[in-house]
Amino acid sequence: MNINRYIDHTILKPTTTLDDIKTLCMQCVEFDFAAACVPPLYVKLAKQFLGATNTKIATVIGFPFGYSAIEAKVAETVLAIVDGADELDVVINICAIKNNDWEYLEKEIAHLLYIIREKKKVIKVIIESGILLEDEIVKCCQLYGRYGVDFMKTSTGYAEKGATVAAVKLMRENLPANIQIKASGGIRTFTFAKELIDAGATRIGASASVGIVNESKAAEASS
């Protein structure tokens, strides 16, 4: 399998430097990853480094905790698109889920989707599955499935629990077939990445991307 085309090669540390972004983008060019996921500050720079390659530019909105005001997320989204982002990984308001305030979440996604669809960009909705109850995950699938987002994404990587096979399976069982799943958070090996893909993920968010690809090649060579 061409595991590289499943991967969003990611660096989102608060200490990320210009050199880190350059290295990430050069690896994206070398390995032909699906996307480079960078902090909003570096979207313009990533666009310069990646140019006309196949690798898309992704960035995060409301990251990592999701409790920014809707207006703040809208502003972040607009700026990210202006700077050249192709894909927006948006952390939903987890506080609203825990308050059972689905009306707020519906308002939030409606505002964001209006902008993202108008500009023909991709939205990945991060639900932070590791800190949600199964019932909350199912309700998220129902809400964002109804709105027709492009992806639902398991995790930011900042919660105590990241992607799991069980969460991906649960999402796949409760989402419309046209909505894809991005698994992220703690994915450091090809073996785990493949388990998540087999469970229904079509995109993998990882910082250990080069190691995952090399492990995949080694596995193919020994089979």
Q: Where are the domains of the chain?
A: 3-222
Spatial CB neighbours of 58, under 8 Å, sequence gap ≥ 6: 8, 35, 36, 37, 38, 85, 86, 87, 88, 89, 124
Task: Kindly write down the DSSP assignment for every residue of 79-94, as one continuous string.
Answer: HHHHHT-SEEEEEP-H
Does pLDDT of 223 surpass 90? no
Tell me phi and psi for residue 37, to 5 degrees: -105, 115
The one catalytic residue among 73, 89, 124, 150:
89
pLDDT for residue 222 is more than 90: no
* Token pair listed for 195: 């388990």
124 is catalytic: no
Q: For this structure, is 89 an active site residue?
A: yes
Is 86 tagged catalytic? no
For domain 3-222, give the fold: TIM Barrel (3.20.20)
How far apart (Å, rounded) are the C-alpha atoms in residues 185 and 149? 20
From the list 56, 139, 182, 194, the catalytic residue is: 182
pLDDT in tens, 125-176: 999 999 999 999 999 999 999 999 999 999 999 999 999 999 999 999 999 9
pLDDT (tens digit per residue) in 87-133 = 999 999 999 999 999 999 999 999 999 999 999 999 999 999 999 99
pLDDT score for 5: 97
Task: Give me the catalytic one of 56, 73, 124, 153.
Answer: 153
> Cis before residue 64, ω within 30 degrees of 0?
yes
| CA terminus-to-terminus distance, the chain | 13
Instruction: Give residue 140's pLDDT.
Output: 98
pTM of the model: 0.97
